[in-house]
Structure 1
Amino acid sequence: MPRRDLPPPPPPAHLRAWLDENAVRADRARILHELGRRSLGIGRLLLLWAVAAVFALGWTFVAMALMAFEEGDPLSFILGFVFVVLGVGVLVPAGFWFARGARLDRQVRGLLCAWAEAGRDPAADARVRAPGRSLTWLLTSFGLGVAGLWLTFGVALSARPGREAYGELAYYMGLGMILWITGLLGLGKAGAHYRWAVRVFRG
């Protein structure tokens, strides 16, 4: 699970005037670096993919339940209900995990904005812009989104009535949707960080 030990917000402006300027600048640089790593680091990207993988596992159980229900015999119905329970048991915790991660991202973003407005330091600000990390998020998320769209629409367009089972078709289309939604989230995060950095540090 994501760590919750976030740095404190910056001291108010009237208190910063009484503090040592070099110490405040050093704290700002250190905290901005840490917040930037938590917001757009490789670890956050891998965590997003891990959540997507858990959703994919849960959807696999749901699709297996649909395939079992298609068989129509009593044993398959029992097996289908077992797969439904397993799917829900995976998807619900994954949803809570995703919600906690989104809430932590909002907290990190708020602290980033607050510390960025607490002063100016070109060297520290350049590290927070993180064009390399933003590009990594952008390219990998774009590739993941393209793969998801190809899987979703490719399976839908190539399906023929009576040849593919509906459960199998739903599985591949749902898996593709998980991939392209994950890619879309990554693209949105990279784009939002870039626009924010340009507005705050170059405006």
Structure 2
Amino acid sequence: MSRRSPLPPSPPPVEIRSWPDREALLADRDVVLGELVRMHVGPGRLGLLWMWAALAALGWSLVGTGLIMFEQTYDVISAIGALVSLVIGVALLVPSAVFVPLGLSRDRKVRQLLLEWGMLDRDPARDLRLRRPGAGLAWLLTSFALCAVGLFACTAGPADATAGDPYGLVVLLMGVGLIAWVTGLIGITKAVSHRRWVMRVLIGAVSRPQVPAGDGPLR
């Protein structure tokens, strides 16, 4: 797995800012915000989220398959196969259970940095590329579809189950549906938070800060 890009630092306090002029501040702000927006709603982040979701769904499918095999097993060989399926399924679930919460924690830090750097000043010309309406819409639509599929699987699976269906099959369908639903909620939250940041920081009124010009007075 490739190393993640480190997060940029918060902007320095007013007392120790050393930008020579406002243009230098805006240039640095544009570079940092561009990187932060990419980290937050870039296509790579969407692909990574779906990758962890697919891995979790595969793991849960193997867990459900193992439960079904346990219910229907009549010999030692089948029991061993069911146990192997359960172990592999749990092993596939663990990375998603670890890295998705870590990613959510990182997203919170990214949103805070977006707010801090965005509030430094306004630059309508450069800020246009940071709005990323296409990326936000892609996150929203795909995540909404995933939520709908997950909710359907969670409700339709148990509702359509009959007395003769294996219990493991219901567990499998509900688990995969829950994974899809939670993944969709994460994506919708990211899309909405990005749009709120655009409306609040890039489009909303932000006062122009005082920027120290080298060692001279604030300007």
TM above 0.5, yes or no, is yes
Offset of 1:78 from its aligned partner?
2.3
Q: Letter of the 2:35 partner, please give it.
A: E
- 1:154 maps to which residue? 156
Gaps of 5+ in 1: none
Please name the residue that 1:47 is paired with. Answer: 48
Letter in 1 for 2:27: A
1:129 aligns with 2:131: yes
The answer to whether the Cα contact below 8 Å between 2:19 and 2:25 also exists between their aligned partners in 1 is: no
Tell me the equivalent position of 1:67. 68
Indicate whether 1:86 and 2:88 are aligned: yes
8 Å contact from structure 1 (residues 16, 24) kept in 2: no
| Bigger Rg over Cα | 2
| Deviation (angstroms), 1:92 | 1.3
What is the correspondence of 1:17-32 to structure 2 with a 5 Å cutoff?
19-32=20-33
> d(CA) in 2 for partners of 1:98 and 1:124?
32
CA contact (8 A) 1:42 1:133 kept: yes
The number of residue pairs the alignment matches comes to 202
CA distance in 2, matches of 1:78, 1:17: 67
Q: C-alpha distance in 2, partners of 1:153/1:124?
A: 46
Query: Which of 94, 107, 110 matches 2:109?
Result: 107
1:47 Cα deviation from its structure 2 partner:
0.8
Q: CA deviation at 1:18?
A: 5.2
Residue 57 of structure 2 corresponds to residue 56 of structure 1: yes
Question: How far is the alpha carbon of 1:17 from its aligned partner?
Answer: 6.0
| Two-structure CA RMSD over aligned residues (Å) | 1.8
Note if contact 2:147-2:182 (Cα within 8 Å) is conserved in structure 1: yes
Unaligned runs of 5+ in 2: 206-219
Q: Percent same amino acid among aligned pairs?
A: 46
For the pair 1:171 / 2:172, whether they are aligned, the reply is yes
Q: Report deviation, 1:28.
A: 0.5
Shift of 1:110: 1.9
TM-score, L = length of structure 2:
0.84
Q: 2:144 & 2:11 partners in 1: Cα distance?
A: 35
The equivalences for 1:1-16 within 5 A come to 1=1, 3-16=4-17
Query: Which residue in 1 is equivalent to 2:214?
Result: none
CA distance in 2, matches of 1:166, 1:55: 20
Does the aligned pair in 2 maintain the 1:137–1:187 contact within 8 Å?
Answer: yes
SS of the equivalent of 1:108 reads helix
- Counterparts of 1:147 and 1:101, CA distance in 2: 23
